[in-house]
Structure 1
Amino acid sequence: MKNLYLLVILFSLISLNNAVYAQEVQEEEEHETKFKQQPGLAKAASKVFFSEKPWSVSGFGEISMVNRNDVPLGMEDDIELSYNNLYRFSTFFGYRFTDKIIWNSEVLVEYLMDPNGNSHFEFILEAFMDFSIHKSFNVRTGLYPLSLGYINNNDEPVMFGSVNRSDVERIIIPSTWMGMGVSFYGIMSPSLNYTLGFSQGLDGSAFRSGTFVRSGREPRFDGNAFTTFSVNPQINYVGLKDWTFSGSAYIGQAGDNQEITDSNNNVRRAESVVQIYSAYARYVQKNWEFIALATTGYMSNTADIYQMTAQANGGVGEVMAKQNIGYLVEGSFDLLSLFNNRNFLRKKNFMIDPHEVKVPFFVRYEYIDTHKNYNEKLLAESNANMVHFNSDIITVGVNFKPREEIAFKVDYQFRNNRATGPYAAKEDNLLELGIGFIF
């Protein structure tokens, strides 16, 4: 009889443990994210659209460190691509005048330092308004994120695994990229949604060869603000469970109607058109994530851009790519899912939410060629400048996410530039550390 009592007690304990674990699994499956996304915006930036109050305050922050020894050739003019220490804080202030008219604004402050002791402080103000007319047709106007690629609309630090955004989406697609203009978006069917934007063009005189259009993407508010224009369509298919398929494009002018003097001493208006095309497939399941993205950029009349940059840079002209390409493949798996018994995470506190804690391990391969095709005749000019990345980049890293709003990150990059010769950029392996949060 004593043995029978012991068996009953043992069975009861096992049943209780299984019941507790089953309840935790069910609660995890029923747990809803605290942050929702409005089309074209990341999580914190979307808060005003779902707030119970007519106003909202949200934002994100990040602190990142990179063990960089030298500033990479061609990156001297953009410290965000060559920093050792980064401190960034952004706050969104939103207000719903009505359910149909929503104001959203951002105040961003960042401070960066590079290996040479240079530092950069930036204070940025952005604002736009949404007019929710119908689920199939809405309007956004002001200074807003362009819908191109993946990261540009998902740029908050808890929304991607690596400490920094990939080179593919920092150089060819120069994330983060804000446009001044008007955008239309909506849901055409349960499987299809779209965006169609019209905004300012690019400042071709600010282009740098190693970073394509990145240095010319800044919005302008002077007399040349709308001398050039661009169009930016995107379409997303979400009809397959757990999958998103997206295609997007940017086609814009870059000549800025500036006067240039050609080789025959003729004065005329510069003309150039930039085209960027991108597509990605993304799979998100409870413990797995996968993304594959490809993009390519084209630039016409790079000789005109050479003249524009030479006039702006004391005679040094930039040899821009006629075409460049980049692609990446990334997979992520939550290591914490390997532990069936997670009793050590049962208690919720200010740092850890048992329903949300994850430890995703990821591997990403990317390839970028900044000058797949270019005007070789321009290199014969005495003051020609060109920086060529033809690089393979493998990034391996892990995050600790104690809750949806926080991510502790570490990754290591193996970087190799296939380009050779005097125009090849130097590449070094990098260790990156970061902390990111949203609220």
Structure 2
Amino acid sequence: MKLFYSVLLGCFFIVANNNLLFAQEDFQQEEEEHETKFKQQPGLAKAASKVFFSEKPWSVSGFGEVSFVNRNDVPIGMEDDIELSYNNLYRFSTFFGYRFTDKIIWNSEILVEYLTDPNGNSHFEFIVEAFMDFSIHKSFNLRTGIYPLSIGYINNNDEPVMFASVNRSDVERMIVPSTWMGMGVSFYGLISPSFNYTFGVSQGLDGSSFLSGTWIRQGREPRFDGNSFTTYSINPQINYVGLKDWTLSASAFIGQTGNNQEITDYNGNKRIANSVAQLYTAYVKHTKKNWEFMALASTGYMSGTEDLYYLTAQENGGVGQVIANQNIGYLVEGSFDLLSLFNNRSFLRKKNALIDPHDVKIPLFVRYEYINTHKNYNEKLLMADTNANMVHFNSDIITVGVNFKPREEIAFKIDYQFRNNRATGPYAAKEDNLLELGIGFIF
């Protein structure tokens, strides 16, 4: 009888293990066959692309994020740019899209943002974006209105579930300004199955709003004044996707920044401000099963920084900004999905309001980045005027963090930044290590 029970018990375990094995194999097969719910239109992030793939002629989508940073002090010289020195962030964006025909598509965004910093300052921002796409041919399409420029990586992938850290990297905030909208026209399409391109012509930058520590960031928003279209810029991008799981991209921005405004130097001479910004970026991204790797580099050049100095002084009570003649930034980032270490994931078989078994990930990531906001600058401007303002970051930043993504639309984030500024002297920005917490979602 004992032998009978032993054989019966053994058979039970064999059947149970086989069923568990088959269930795990079925789950893995379903996971491989599972398609993302969100597709991307060239130049747009996931939620922003919804109208292009909606079964209905209209769509409502968006994203939101709430972030906290344990910042004790605002970095010296960064008081005027609370977006880079906040403690609390609340951001919500809604996209409204309508497809008049399969060839003519309207898309718009309303973004509301509220921030506070350690000094008790607060900032509220309301941003509107609206543009139309004309799908002419797979090799030639047109987008016109106020739209995201195709530059770097984050600007076209700016929704919080699309990057690992709580904040966007400093390279793509201070060297390549994220949330960068252009007002103009952009052409995009396929050159071949392996290559696609974008070429935009848009409004120039507002040089009078530049701040020393963040280069062109404060002048990136479209203007609606008498100088709106007195300056222009071009924005080309080319992407290579011919290797499986790889994306290689190169982009540039070349544009006027002086607004053709009249300036007066300290000798009383009058002239029209003449300045041109050049920004070049390239990145490579590789995604393979549970691993992801990315490297990005950028460098910027500015001519006419003396003119910008006088222009910003006129706009800021005599305080002129020393803008870099050249800056540089780069980053390397790798991530690994910790959930893949669990061979048995049958506990994720059930789908509910929070968890989609096919999408769950726990990526651990490490990122190193380097920024030098003033690799080269006009030192004479600092010696000529005690009101000159310069904020110099020559910083190494190491970020270590983890995400919990219960489904494609949601990400819980935590990371810690080790920050060190190599710059010394009175113009060196103060850096502190930071703990960051955040929640982001799209819909």
Q: The TM-score by the shorter chain falls in which range?
A: over 0.9
Q: TM-score, normalised by structure 1?
A: 0.99
How far 1:383 sits from its partner (Å)? 1.3
CA contact (8 A) 2:210 2:219 kept: yes
Matched, 1:421 2:418: no
How far 1:363 sits from its partner (Å)? 0.3
CA contact (8 A) 2:305 2:322 kept: yes
Counterpart residue number, 1:75: 78
Counterpart residue number, 1:39: 42
Counterpart among 101, 111, 124 of residue 108 in structure 1 = 111
Matched, 1:431 2:435: yes
- Opposite residue 410 of structure 1, the aligned amino acid is I
Matched, 1:177 2:180: yes
Runs of at least 4 residues off by over 6 Å: none
Name stretches of at least 5 consecutive residues in structure 1 with no aligned partner.
none
How far 1:244 sits from its partner (Å)? 0.2
Counterpart residue number, 1:138: 141
CA distance in structure 2 between the partners assigned to 1:317 and 1:222 by the alignment: 23
Matched, 1:125 2:128: yes
Counterpart residue number, 2:194: 191
Give the number of aligned pairs: 439
Matched, 1:378 2:381: yes
Query: 3-state DSSP class of the match of 2:187?
Result: strand
Q: Provide the identity percentage.
A: 80
- Opposite residue 281 of structure 1, the aligned amino acid is V
How far 1:35 sits from its partner (Å)? 0.2
Matched, 1:345 2:348: yes
CA deviations over 1:261-311 (Å, ceiling 9, x no partner)? 234422110100000000000001121111000000100010000010111
How far 1:8 sits from its partner (Å)? 3.0
Counterpart residue number, 2:89: 86
How far 1:234 sits from its partner (Å)? 0.2
- Opposite residue 402 of structure 2, the aligned amino acid is V
Counterpart residue number, 2:391: 387
Counterpart among 359, 362, 366 of residue 359 in structure 1 = 362
Counterpart residue number, 2:258: 255
How far 1:176 sits from its partner (Å)? 1.0
Matched, 1:57 2:65: no
CA contact (8 A) 2:300 2:327 kept: yes
CA contact (8 A) 2:23 2:346 kept: no
Counterpart residue number, 1:269: 272
Query: 3-state DSSP class of the match of 2:14?
Result: helix
CA distance in structure 2 between the partners assigned to 1:387 and 1:15 by the alignment: 64
CA contact (8 A) 2:112 2:127 kept: yes
Counterpart residue number, 1:18: 21
CA deviations over 1:70-103 (Å, ceiling 9, x no partner)? 1112221111111100111100000000000000
CA deviations over 1:355-413 (Å, ceiling 9, x no partner)? 10000000000000000000111111221110000000000000000000000000000
Counterpart residue number, 1:303: 306
Query: 3-state DSSP class of the match of 1:25?
Result: helix
Matched, 1:240 2:243: yes
Query: 3-state DSSP class of the match of 1:38?
Result: coil
CA deviations over 1:308-349 (Å, ceiling 9, x no partner)? 011111111111100000000000100000001112221100
CA contact (8 A) 2:20 2:346 kept: no
Counterpart among 380, 389, 400 of residue 396 in structure 1 = 400
Counterpart residue number, 2:336: 333
Query: 3-state DSSP class of the match of 1:317?
Result: coil
Q: TM-score, normalised by structure 2?
A: 0.98
How far 1:4 sits from its partner (Å)? 4.1
Query: 3-state DSSP class of the match of 2:80?
Result: coil
How far 1:222 sits from its partner (Å)? 1.2
Query: 3-state DSSP class of the match of 1:311?
Result: helix
- Opposite residue 426 of structure 2, the aligned amino acid is P
Tell me how large the CA RMSD over aligned residues is.
0.9
CA deviations over 1:164-197 (Å, ceiling 9, x no partner)? 0000000111101000000000011110000000
CA distance in structure 1 between the partners assigned to 2:267 and 2:110 by the alignment: 47
